[in-house]
Amino acid sequence: MMLQRSLLLVLVLLALLSGCTENDDEPPPSETTTGGDASGDTPDEKPDGGKDATSEPHDSGPPSDGEASSDEVRLTLPPAPVAANARKDAQGVRDVVASAKALLEDKGAAALQTFAKPLEPWTKGGSHVIVWSPSGEILTDSLAPTLVGAEGSALVDAAGRPLGALILATADHPDRSGWVHFEQVPAGDPFPRWKSLYLTKVELPSGTSYLVGCDDFDVPPDEGMVEDLVESARTHVQKVGEYGYAEFLDPLAGYQYNDQYLFIMDFTAILILEAGFPYLTTGRDAQSYAEYEGPDGVPWFSEAVAAVQAHQDGVWYDHLWPSPGDTNFREKHTYLKALQLEGKAVVIGSGLYRGEVSADPVATTTAQDLEHFVAEAVTLLEAKGQTAFSDLRDPEGTWYKEDRYVFVWDLNGKRLVYPPDPSIEGTSALETTDVDGRPFGQWLLEAAARGGGWVHYRIPAPGELFASWKSTYAREATLKGGQRVLVASGEFDLRPDEHLVEDLVEQATALLREHLLVGLERLNQPHAGYNLDEVRVLVFDASGDVLVEPAIPGLARETNLSEIKGNEDLLARAKPDELTWLTVNWARTSGEAPRSGRAAVTRIEMEGRNLVLLAGFLD
């Protein structure tokens, strides 16, 4: 859920589509690594010399047809100039490809020299026509002429997607055409932006074949783009079976773009996969959504199945559904198609969101209100002991009103008081996790043990299907009689204010002081507990290099503050062991321009190193 537009530094690991090393045998260390894709695995070889678009699933799968070459390199490229939507829309990109295809069919190899020149209509801003051979040799690239002749199958994007493999895989699509979406760093801006590339295979009478494509930044998705995503997914699943499902959940496998993603259900409306909301299926028993109704009262799963049964070659269906990470319903225009897999009929789909997002619900309670509420409960329990438990459970009393209540555990995590459902009192909450796997049961005990603290996690509110952020404050108390207990209360959609931001920075500081290297590793994990919605803790060293970016693990240490305008004096103004609120300039997320905001900043010295920590909000 998106609450307060907040601080998010999006960093650059590898730039894309505008240059490469001229000597592939001895590339500069900063621009190459061994391995074929983001995981270090090499995609399977195809008969035509291309690569499969995705790597082998992490658990198990069909055997690979090829082995990774020990001397294969990953190609990365410098930033590209930006003229967002230079081609206006997806159809504009397709039209350029159609014109380029016609020129190739007319002129043959002579057309390559035309595309190689950075002139309109083939090159326009950061949009340009590229031509590859079906085996992966890059034949033209007006924005990266040094790339011509290189082996493109090793190309990766700024996030580590196997871009070269995804490009070559479009030749296997049913109509030998398709879209590839990736992240590239624009010239003069360290924050990656989405770029979309449309390709088609051209076969000349002479027998020569080409892959010709055109790309552009920030291309709005249209129906054709969604249909291509569904068709490419169907082709992949028909090739590898259910092993392909894991790749649909992987944001780097080429099946997700902005808020476009895939879902699969069977004809009884059992949801098999939901890449936008993985927790709806992961770790759950099979559950039919045939009776589920959206806020408009429409049982859209059942209606969608009926529509596909009547139109198995593909049908568009309109319904209400939230965007990934949100709980607010929006209009969604969804493409559905039947798929026969191992004798079982399933529905595979993806869609376009339409209309504005409604305002996020925000709690009127503040963090300090909740801390005071817990403190009053502690006073009650210390005075009355276990006889106060009935007061905490009373729905007509002071302590239990709708979603706001106090709960009590012993220090081993056993529930002693849980007003919403007294039937689970006596059970253990120690192993409780949220929809993303955060072990918030353990974290609450740890927060209470350190004198009181906040824990943030995502769970569905009572009666809701989709998960919201919940912030809970916990502290220890000694009951009358001497028993030590945990006392806590939480709130859904609690607004991240200065109090909560400072708490996050203080928690991160304490973690680093305990163990520097382990702390840096943990802070880089996106579900480690040091973020609330889009508020995240970032860490820099004294030179300005980024050490921690929890939103995109692995991108740290690739960007310096000097590359981001508006932050030139941030390091100098950070005070040792003291929180200071400063104006900063960050991007909220990938694909957006930086904007100004405020952040709590501190400087600490650890093992001879000066580190700067910050977290905050964007305007």
Query: Which residue spans within 516-593 are E strands per DSSP?
Result: 531-532, 535-536, 538-541, 546-548, 580-586
Task: Show Cβ contacts of residue 286 under 8 Å, excluding neighbours closer than 6 positions.
Answer: 270
- Beta-bridge partner residues of 214: 129, 198
pTM given for the model: 0.81
Token pair recorded at residue 150: 């290189």
Mark out the alpha helices in 90-218 (DSSP H runs): 90-107, 111-116, 163-169
Q: What confidence score (pLDDT) does residue 185 get?
A: 81
Q: What confidence score (pLDDT) does residue 590 get?
A: 60
Expressed in angstroms, the distance from the first to the final Cα of the chain is 18
Measured between alpha carbons, how far is 194 from 185 in angstroms, rounded to an integer? 9
Fold of 499-618: Beta-Lactamase (3.30.450)
Query: How many CB atoms are located within 10 Å of the residue 470 CB?
Result: 22
| Cβ proximity of 478 and 374 under 8 Å | no
Q: What confidence score (pLDDT) does residue 32 get?
A: 32
Query: Which residue spans within 223-301 are E strands per DSSP?
Result: 263-266, 271-274
| Cβ proximity of 228 and 173 under 8 Å | yes
**One-letter-per-residue 3-state SS of 102-132:** HHHHHHHHHHHHHHHCCCCCCEECCEEEEEE
Residue 229 DSSP symbol: H
Burial (0-12, 13-18, 19+ Cβ within 10 Å), 578: exposed
Task: Show Cβ contacts of residue 106 under 8 Å, excluding neighbours closer than 6 positions.
Answer: none
- Beta-bridge partner residues of 179: 198
What are the backbone dihedrals phi and psi of residue 332, each rounded to the nearest 5 degrees, phi first? -130, 130
Q: What confidence score (pLDDT) does residue 357 get?
A: 64
Mean pLDDT per block of 10 residues along the chain (619 residues) reads 35 33 34 31 33 34 36 64 78 97 96 94 93 96 91 90 94 90 82 91 95 94 96 91 92 92 94 94 78 92 95 94 91 95 90 76 83 97 96 94 93 97 97 96 96 96 92 96 96 92 95 94 91 90 87 65 78 92 78 80 92 88
Measured between alpha carbons, how far is 595 from 597 in angstroms, rounded to an integer? 7
| Cβ proximity of 196 and 179 under 8 Å | yes
CATH class of 367-494: alpha beta
- What would be the CATH architecture of the domain defined by 240-354? 2-Layer Sandwich (3.30)
CA atoms in the 13 A half-sphere facing the CB of 322: 21
For residue 610, which of 565, 574, 561, 560 has the smallest C-alpha distance?
574
Q: What confidence score (pLDDT) does residue 187 get?
A: 79
DSSP letter string, 284-347: ----B-TT---TTS--HHHHHHHHHHH-TT-EEEEEEEEPTT--SEEEEEEEEEEEEETTEEEE
Measured between alpha carbons, how far is 105 from 204 in angstroms, rounded to an integer? 6
- Domain residue limits, the chain: 29-174, 240-354, 367-494, 499-618
Measured between alpha carbons, how far is 217 from 176 in angstroms, rounded to an integer? 23
Burial 33-64 (b: 16+ CB within 10 A, else e): eebbbbeebbbbebeeebbbbbbbbeeebeee
557 φψ region: left (φ > 0), alpha (ψ -120 to 50), beta (else): left
